């Protein structure tokens, strides 16, 4: 028996109601993903070293390697227990419920402006290059061209958003889907950060948050299942705990907390954390330039 430490409230509810069946979709050292027959979503079982997230259950193990979970293993629920074949049983009895709650955009953006400057300086030094952050050292021609495409398309997207041309911005956002290196491509990670900002209540772009759903609806065939699921959730304001922690840190004057939260985000994946963080900066600066506040 393995105990779940915490988990997404809706995921826990589905297990308690015994309405969850599926199969293992993909496996990694620290996570494995389950395809759910009931709604077609992916759900993640993550080790204790990772943060909470949408459709995620954190379990009391350090790594998934010894569990010998395999793709296509059947998954079922009975009496508050999640079964992976007959190999493992996961109990949610002691699991703390977690919800993705994005903070409200501030009425006064002065603190936010100062923190964004600090955030950009930190990423310039500590961020991982190769995705949205350009590599100073030119790599092969293909990587250089992808990097140029990412830069060009993000700038085109920003220009349309700032000129209140939301419909014209849509193809530029879609053009980023699936673009770049990584299990979750850099363009997708960048959009995850941007979608998060669209979902901040009271922000200038909050009334246009349906834009995010318009993008992800066109993304299904453009990227992989895992990345698509991340975009789908981010489009409605459901993102990882580390992203929410950073947003909260950006809204107060506490450098230690800001850099601690930022560093945790930057440690996600290879360049994923950096790409998400740059999407957040992009979204925040677009909000500020578009009007600053709606209170």
For residue 223, the 8-state DSSP code is S
Question: 70-74, 96-100, 127-131, 199-203 — which is least confidently predicted?
Answer: 127-131
126 shares its domain with 235 = yes
- Single residue among 98, 127, 153 that ends a domain in this structure: 98
Give me the percent of the chain exceeding a pLDDT of 90: 86
**Mean pLDDT within 139-143:** 80
For residue 67, the 8-state DSSP code is G
218 shares its domain with 87 = no
**Residue 72 pLDDT > 60:** yes
161 shares its domain with 286 = yes
**Residue 280 pLDDT > 90:** yes
**Residue 249 pLDDT > 70:** yes
49 burial (CB, 10 Å; 0-12 / 13-18 / 19+) is: exposed
Determine, yes or no, domain membership for 83.
yes
Q: For the residues of 2-55, what is the DSSP string, one character each? A: EEEEEEEHHHHHHHHTT---EEEEEE-SSEEEEEETTT--EEEEE-TTSPP-TT
What sign has the CA pseudo-torsion 207, 219, 170, 149? positive
**Mean pLDDT within 41-69:** 97
More confident residue, 197 or 79: 197
117 shares its domain with 231 = yes
Q: Domain span at residue 91?
A: 2-98
Q: Is residue 292 very low, low, confident or very high in pLDDT (cuts 50, 70, 90)?
A: low
174 shares its domain with 261 = yes
263 shares its domain with 121 = yes
Q: Is residue 33 very low, low, confident or very high in pLDDT (cuts 50, 70, 90)?
A: very high
């Amino acid at each position: 028996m393995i105990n779940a430490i915490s988990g997404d409230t809706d995921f826990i509810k589905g297990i308690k109601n015994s309405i969850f069946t599926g199969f293992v979709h993909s496996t990694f050292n620290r996570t494995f993903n389950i395809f759910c027959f009931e709604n077609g979503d992916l759900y993640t079982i993550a080790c204790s070293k990772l943060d909470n997230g949408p459709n995620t259950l954190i379990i009391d193990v350090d790594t998934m390697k010894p569990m010998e979970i395999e793709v296509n293993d059947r998954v079922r629920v009975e009496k508050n227990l999640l079964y992976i074949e007959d190999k493992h049983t996961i109990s949610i009895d002691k699991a703390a419920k977690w919800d993705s709650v994005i903070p409200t955009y501030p009425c006064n953006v002065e603190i936010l402006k100062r923190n964004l400057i600090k955030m950009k300086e930190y990423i310039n030094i500590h961020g991982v290059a190769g995705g949205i952050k350009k590599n100073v050292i030119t790599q092969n021609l293909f990587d250089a061209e992808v990097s140029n495409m990412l830069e060009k398309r993000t700038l085109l997207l920003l220009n349309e958003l700032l000129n209140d041309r939301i419909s014209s911005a849509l193809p530029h956002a879609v053009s980023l889907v699936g673009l770049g290196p990584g299990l979750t491509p850099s363009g997708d990670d960048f959009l995850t950060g941007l979608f998060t900002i669209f979902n901040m209540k009271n922000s200038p772009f909050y009334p246009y948050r349906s834009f995010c759903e318009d993008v992800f609806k066109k993304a299904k065939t453009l990227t992989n299942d895992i990345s698509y699921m991340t975009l789908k959730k981010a489009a409605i304001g459901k993102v990882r705990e580390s992203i929410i922690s950073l947003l909260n840190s950006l809204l107060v004057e506490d450098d230690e907390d800001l850099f601690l939260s930022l560093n945790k985000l930057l440690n996600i994946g290879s360049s994923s954390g950096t790409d998400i963080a740059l999407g957040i900066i992009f979204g925040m600066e677009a909000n500020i330039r578009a009007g600053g506040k709606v209170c």
